Chain A
Amino acid sequence: MSRRKFKLPQKQYKAKRLTFVEEIAMWLGEQPDLMIHYLKNRNTGGTPPYILMYLESMVDLKKINDQIVQTLTGMSHEFSVGELAERIPADNTKEFDEVQQAGHLLLKGYTLILQQRHRRGFAVNTGKMPQRAFSEPEAEKVIFGPHLGFNEQLSDNIALIRKYVDRDDLRFKSITIKHPSDKKVYLAYVAQTADPQLIKEVERRLEKVEVKDLNDVHYLEEWIIDRGLSPFPNFYYTERPDVVAANILEGRVALMTGNSPVAALLPISISHFLMAPDDHYYNPIYASFLRVFRLIAAVLAFSVSSFYVALTMVNHELLPFQMIQTIIQAREGVPFPIWIEVLILEFALELVIEASRWTPGNIGQAITLFGTIVVGQAAVQAGILNATVIVVVSLEAIASFAVPVYRASTMIRLLRYPMIILASFFGIVGILLYLMLIFIHLVRKENLGMPYLLPLAPFDLSGFKDTLIRVPRKMMDRGNLINKE
């Protein structure tokens, strides 16, 4: 067997008539890992009857050797392409007769079997995609419960969901969306609980999607949402199969793409952002306490610095006398107005967060330490910032990290900047009006036809069973078991 790396014929190709193999190689362009094998049959000898083409980085060489080379070299005589299909012990095979078709198959990890002088070929799936082992997602770690997350292999992820949702009405619907190479998106749902209208609507919206690139399910969010821009997250993204399973059992739909460990759950309401994956693994009283606590943390993260600015700049009368004395003492010699001081510190906080996000772990610690010492201590000693502002902004930062969904906590951090500026000019009135604007937006916002503020607006008492609090499973499940029929 001769084996060589293929080199593109440079200028002479115009003069010479190209073979089918050369045409395919030309179509692919520069591909340093393109391999072409000329197989000699042990029994027939002579000119190589078969030519194998594959991209070395995408195939399993053992598979090629076992399934193709062994079979072809051991054959008693030469077979046509149609006849080969029955003789090669592989299940995923395809025939082709066009250059473009052959090129696509090569790029997907197929090995092409061609014969000289024929413009037809036969492809065997020998693909071996680079793959990561299952691990616990960094952003959704739990103390108790399964420590398992998706990987980038769609088939593996589907298998995991099947494992968790052990039901015969679990469905995976594949939808092809407009993309240069027609990407597939999968909708996972449980037929009995999911609303057929919802599935139709998601399908309808997915059909309109036109993407140049689709590396992840996040790319689809902006195509599917109801109304223009909103700072509030529309989908709940998770890398945990148990979270996907729990949600699709409740009637939601999971949207998944290949090459990404993330599944998007829809439709969701704002209450989802207070839920952590392990709430269901705790005692209901403790889980409810945690959820209420997270709500308080979210409110604190959103509003503490604005209230501080409003109370110290406009509405002093609401502060107790002793508190005023403490704040004035701390502010002695600080050159900036309070709201600028707060914004400087908020900016420094974002800087530390962003800087530590992009630096490797061991250097990241140095940044945090430097940030803490410089901002926390030196700035106060130098009289640039006052200690109460540091307490306020730190409290706010810690509270924002107590919100379990990272996207929600970034949204909270983003939304408070306008509120700080309004508070500095208009005090409590400014804060209240800003909150009104946000509430108007939230009340109007819908997520695939579902009100975003559910179960608060429109009010639905039964909806609170697993949102702000978590009632015992007996109360949640009883009477809600779906009939298996």
Chain B
Amino acid sequence: MRLIYLMIILSLFLSGCTPPLSIEEKAIISMAGFDKKDNKIQVTAFIQNPAVLGKARAGAQKDERPVSILKTEGNTIDFAVHWSSNFVPRHVDWNHMQVVILGEELAEEGISHVLDFIQRQPEASTLPFIFICKGITTRELFERAFEFTDSPSRYIQEIIAPSREHTNFREVRVYNLLNDLNSPLTDIVVNGIRLAKKKHYVTAGGHETFYITNTLGVLKHGKLAGWMDKKASSGYMWVKEDRWDHAVELKNERYKVYVNHDITTNKPDIKVNFRGKDIKNIEIEVDIESKISEISHSRMPLTTQTIHLFEKDLEVYVEERVRHMIEVSQKMGADILGLGYQVRKANQKYWEQYKTEWAEKIYPRIHVDVIIHVQVENTGDIVEKTETNIENK
């Protein structure tokens, strides 16, 4: 028994060599950017210093800000980070990163070593959101963001929350990327981020703000292969993401009215059809249910026929986008929908034979059929009068 007690007590000393550091002795990084310039890795990070807020509360040193920018560079990320300990007064802590932003140039060369660095941090969190900077370097983005916010990561998270439903925002976190990079069957799609003038949301300062782009970047084998346009990105979202509460405004040519569809469900289904040993086609079927929430001509009578027309409009709208997305991805040779995975599921032998040629040769030429079914569940109106038997008599 004594031996057991002794072993338990001794095992305490196996608990690692991280020295216990009080929480305020750490420089906590809330958001980090990685970019490449002149063949060197540039690391830019926001270090939160909440103690300043505590001081400010006590009425001292009001000119100090609770956030500072760390700028460092090196041929490897790890060296750049270690180098930073020369000028950061506290221990840099990477475990609480909320957002990681990758520069476009770095993304084109490959992001795996950045992910590797994040993973290697002791007690690393793989939860941060990941974005690719579009049309601006990360350092520039961080410097300009420093002018308008004390808590950039929180700012981005605040934008993300409503974006999930209404834009082409795809929630990608570091662990999603790690998983996808390790499974070669699917190429990855990541949101872009840039700065935009506050056109729609005006604050007292009227500063710039972060803007999560509606265009999605395609990462092929961990390298940025290109950006999809807005239409293709939307098509991707219809097949891969839940579009619940998404609003689509469509014009009906026949009645000259605008109809707003409020999407309730979108269920995608992918089927691979074979003819003999070869793939005949791939069918992408999406069943959509929506509610008509508003029609611009408020007195327009809704009948079963008109509703069918509106359903048709939405079908055409979605089909156009999905088709466009497939064309774009076939041009890039990036199987972003994971069709290869469906093929492997449907015919293992075929996959084993052609998997090396799939991305470059087969996927770009494959015939994809898109079938969209829309059903309007609810209009909020009584479509046809209910007639009782008594009235008929």
Contact = CB atoms under 8 A, between A and B. Distances in A.
A425 interface: yes
B23 A332 contact: no
B12 A321 contact: no
Nearest to A336: B22
A396 B4 CA distance: 31
Contact of A327 (B23, B48, B55): B23
A324 interface: yes
Interface in A394-447: 422, 424-427, 429-430, 433, 436-437, 440, 444
Contact of A313 (B22, B93, B98): B22
Contacts of A312: 22-23
Contacts of B125: 317
B255 interface: no
B22 A337 contact: yes
Interface in A179-195: none
B8 to A, nearest CB: 6
Contacts of A314: 18, 20
A321 B15 CA distance: 24
Contact of B24 (A332, A422, A424): A332
B5 interface: yes
B5 A331 contact: no
B96 A436 contact: no
Contacts of A327: 23
Interface residues of A, number: 32
Interface string B81-118: 00000000000010110100000000000000000000
B57 interface: yes
B207 interface: no
Contacts of A315: 123
B15 A313 contact: no
Contact of B23 (A313, A424, A427, A430): A313
A437 B7 CA distance: 11
B4 A440 contact: yes
Given A315-B123, A332-B58, A433-B9, A427 B30 contact: no
Given A332-B24, A332-B54, A321 B98 contact: yes
Contacts of A427: 15, 20
A142 B274 CA distance: 78
Contacts of B48: 325
Most A-side CB within 10 Å, residue of B12, B26, B55, B123 = B12
Contacts of B55: 332-333
A337 B12 CA distance: 21
A437 B15 contact: no
Interface string B239-281: 0000000000000000000000000000000000000000000
Contacts of A425: 12, 20
B385 to A, nearest CB: 52
B12 A422 contact: yes
Contacts of B30: 321
B95 A317 contact: yes
A80 interface: no
A325 B53 CA distance: 9
Contacts of B93: 316
A433 B51 contact: no
A423 to B, nearest CB: 9
Interface string B49-77: 01101110110000000000000000000
B23 A338 contact: yes
A236 B138 CA distance: 67
B22 A338 contact: yes
Nearest to A422: B12
A438 B99 CA distance: 41
A421 to B, nearest CB: 11
B9 A324 contact: no
A330 interface: yes
B51 A430 contact: no
Nearest to A330: B54
A319 B123 CA distance: 12
B356 interface: no
A89 to B, nearest CB: 66
A333 B58 CA distance: 10
Given A313-B21, A313-B23, A427-B20, A321 B96 contact: yes
B15 A429 contact: yes
B21 A430 contact: no
Contacts of A325: 48, 50, 53
Nearest to A436: B8
B11 interface: yes
A8 interface: no
Most A-side CB within 10 Å, residue of B9, B23, B153 = B23
B28 interface: yes
A328 interface: yes
A431 to B, nearest CB: 11
Given A329-B51, A332-B54, A316 B26 contact: yes
B167 to A, nearest CB: 24
A337 to B, nearest CB: 6
Interface in B347-365: none
A324 B15 contact: no
Nearest to A329: B54
A440 B60 CA distance: 52
A437 B8 contact: yes
Given A316-B96, A430-B12, A440-B5, A329 B57 contact: yes
Contact of B54 (A321, A324, A331, A440): A331
Interface string B16-40: 1010111110101010000000000
A329 B56 CA distance: 10
9 contacts: A312-B23, A321-B30, A328-B54, A329-B51, A332-B58, A424-B20, A429-B12, A430-B12, A436-B8
In the A-B complex, list the 10 residue pairs whose CB atoms are closest, starting with the nearest.
A332-B54, A329-B54, A317-B123, A325-B50, A429-B15, A317-B95, A328-B50, A332-B51, A312-B23, A313-B20
